[in-house]
Amino acid sequence: MTRSLTRPHLKVAALQQASSADKATSLATTERLVRQAVSEGAELVVLQELHTTLYFCQTEDVSVFELAEPIPGPTTERLAALARELDVVIVGSVFERRTNGVYHNTAVVLERDGSLAGLYRKMHIPDDPGFYEKFYFTPGDAQFNDGRSGFTPIQTSVGRLGVLVCWDQWYPEAARLMALAGAELLIYPTAIGWDVTDDPDERARQLEAWVTVQRGHAVANNLPVIAPNRIGQEPDPSGQGDGILFWGNSFIAGPQGEFLARADSDSETILHATIDRQRSEAIRRIWPHFRDRRIDAYGDILKRVCD
């Protein structure tokens, strides 16, 4: 099968699933859903953050580092074989062991022939109750050895993918830099949920904020956004807390922030959408955000605080 970057439409899918403590079980679910998504026409399939395991960052436990893998490694090899068999581009997620003492939360992009098209190491690392990611993850490289920025789109047979990860989704700078570097899609593999003790009003506020900020990135950059999230309640391994209820609500939005597809809060789901490649260009001609940027006046953005 031959695909061209000049084709006007791209069929994408985002997978929403519950994960297991057993990698084999999680990957079996992922593989089943990928196969179904491709049978239904998907050319690009995006998986959620850390989809092979439970979300282990609720506590700080050095034994968890045993879950980390090199790249290439078992998870990337399995996803690569699946991509090659199904002739599809897959965006997956790996707890990466880069070297002794350096671990990353890494998104990997597997090309249709099974090759590794590129990777993105999560740049913004949270450290909040129930989300102790700084204990486990080193921030991604702000600058690669070959001069590329950490916010560099990954070139694939289906286009230039602006892959970011979860906490990155709250930062307009990350989305803008990906867009300025030529990304055609913004992709946010995610693992986010509520504290089980949150009341309904607080849950609604948090969910609405998560959806709104990412739709804002779509609007501000005139790019589609794909945001898959996990589902299910996962207990706190230490027993000190009540655990996290992952809120699902995965979605795909168009370049004006419009919903193209959206999941509910608790169902295993394959979201499908068809992306019109020409809409971003058409919208930028009437909403020329990039043209009107005042780059001469943004120097203070590099300061921690503008006193």
Domain boundaries, the chain: 40-302
pLDDT for 251 = 98
57 in catalytic set:
no
pLDDT for the residue numbered 6: 58
Tell me which of 49, 111, 184, 234 is the catalytic residue. Answer: 49
H/E stretch holding 200: helix 200-221
Q: What percent of the chain shows pLDDT beyond 90?
A: 91
Across the range 262-274, mean pLDDT stands at 97
**How would residue 240 be classed by pLDDT, with cut points 50, 70 and 90?**
confident
* Catalytic option among 69, 96, 111, 122: 122
**First-last CA distance in the chain:** 57
User: Mean pLDDT across the chain, nearest whole number?
Assistant: 95
CA angle 278, 261, 180 (to 5 degrees): 40
pLDDT in tens, 182-232: 999 999 999 999 999 999 999 999 999 999 999 999 999 999 999 999 999
Q: What is the DSSP letter of 78?
A: H
Res 4: pLDDT: 44
49 is catalytic: yes
Q: Which of 96, 133, 166, 234 is catalytic?
A: 166
Query: Torsion angle of alpha carbons 124, 209, 178, 289, nearest 10°?
Result: -140
Question: What band does 242 get if pLDDT is binned at 50, 70 and 90?
Answer: confident
- pTM score of the predicted model: 0.95
> Predicted confidence band at 167 (pLDDT cuts at 50, 70, 90)?
very high
Cα angle value 44/28/194 (rounded, 5°): 80
Q: Does 172 sit behind a cis peptide bond, omega within 30 degrees of 0 on the bond before it?
A: no
| Beta-bridge partner residues of 118 | 109
Q: Is the pLDDT at 13 greater than 80, yes or no?
A: yes
Rounded CA separation 137/97 (Å): 10
Which CATH class, in words, describes the domain spanning 40-302?
alpha beta
Is pLDDT at 1 greater than 80 in this prediction? no
Do residues 223 and 253 make contact, with C-beta atoms less than 8 angstroms apart?
no
